[in-house]
Amino acid sequence: MSNQSLRLVLGIAAIGFASISAHDAFGAPPTVPFGVEFKGCVESIGVALAPTENVVGLTPPGFIPVGIGTPTSPIVVRTADCAGISVDGGKSKPGSVVQIGAVIVPPAFSGEDIDNYTFWYYTSDEKLAHRLRKAGVSAQHVETIDYVLEPGMSGVPNHLAVVVPRPGDPRFAVAGTVAPSVAPSGAFRAAWWQKTAAGNVRMDTTVPVIAIGAADLTLATRPDNALGALIGATTLGFPILQQFNVFVGAHMDVFVAP
């Protein structure tokens, strides 16, 4: 699917469907802005539907889920695994990031392709988790995120399994088949928001060149955790949009929106 098609799908959803703040463990004041570089990454994107009442219950005032006024609202599940993650120019190390949030009408728009409110953010990169927490974002350091991509050829279905174990909360897994592409599809920019003690923090990621492939994935979780309560089930498919992307590099700016 092209970037134009992705923007069209999300735009149609927005038209048709028209938090936890934290300091670090030592009580230090939030510290923003900062930047993060991602190198050699694969990424799955799934857009599903959850009951709007449940989505609103996790979205603070000032942020508007695009499903307001309808029974269901779109949520995004993103997983990424990179050969290198570098925070504020530091040493680059392999790592993974997993995010879940609601597609929202942006409180401030600056040309991004999609805006999401962050419900849960997990990363295996300790420094990234620490810096996000210092910025007020409720990021979780989960050292052992299990990201397994079966080696395969471009355009041919390969198995992907991503597991977020303890201390991740809520815990869940995403698994199925993906078909990577090597054909570049232009640039993409996503903004993930979270309300914090410092203000509304934006995590803006720009991917200069992205190759967009296909995916057929399912999320599985427990009925008695917060994610199970959000979706009202133990499994979740992605009927709105599924992608498996490959990109050489991306940059994320983390800052408090004016």
> Residue 189: pLDDT above 60?
yes
Question: Closest Cα to residue 75, out of 37, 119, 38?
Answer: 119
Q: Is the pLDDT of residue 165 over 70?
A: yes
pLDDT beyond 60 at 161: yes
Look at residue 2 and tell me whether its pLDDT is greater than 80: no
Asked whether the predicted pLDDT for residue 14 surpasses 50, the reply is no
**Rounded alpha-carbon distances, angstroms, from residue 8 to 5, 101, 162, 207, 241:** 5, 19, 28, 18, 11
Q: Any idea which of 31-35, 100-104, 252-256 has the lowest mean pLDDT? A: 31-35
CA-closest candidate to residue 80, choices 50, 135, 119, 124: 124
Alpha-carbon torsion 55, 57, 60, 63, what sign? positive
- What's the token pair of residue 68? 């307001």
Q: What local confidence, expressed as pLDDT, does residue 215 receive?
A: 96
pLDDT band at 242 (very low <50, low <70, confident <90, very high): very high
Measure the CA–CA gap between 196 and 160, rounded to whole angstroms: 33
pLDDT reported for residue 156: 74
Whole-number mean pLDDT of the chain?
A: 89
Q: What integer pLDDT is reported at residue 15 of this predicted model?
A: 35
Mean pLDDT of 190-216: 96
Quote the pLDDT of residue 6. 46
Quote the pLDDT of residue 29: 52
Q: Measured between alpha carbons, how far is 172 from 229 in angstroms, rounded to an integer?
A: 13
Q: What is the CATH number of the domain that holds 105?
A: 2.40.400
Tell me the two tokens of residue 87.
């925070």
- Looking at residue 49, what is its pLDDT? 98
Whether pLDDT at 11 is above 80 = no
Structure tokens at 53: 């009442």
Nearby residues of 62 by Cβ (< 8 Å), 6 or more positions away: 107, 195, 200
Domain count for the chain, please give it: 1
pLDDT tens, position by position, 100-156: 999 999 888 889 999 999 999 999 999 999 999 999 999 999 999 999 998 766 667
Predicted confidence at residue 5, as pLDDT, reads: 45
- Residue 16 belongs to what domain range? 3-29+37-256
Give percent of the chain above pLDDT 90: 79
Nearest to 84 by CA among 254, 247, 256, 258: 247
Least confident among 12-16, 26-30, 203-207, 248-252: 12-16
pLDDT tens profile 74-101: 999 999 999 999 999 999 999 999 999 9
- Nearest alpha-carbon partner for 118 in 106, 133, 103: 103
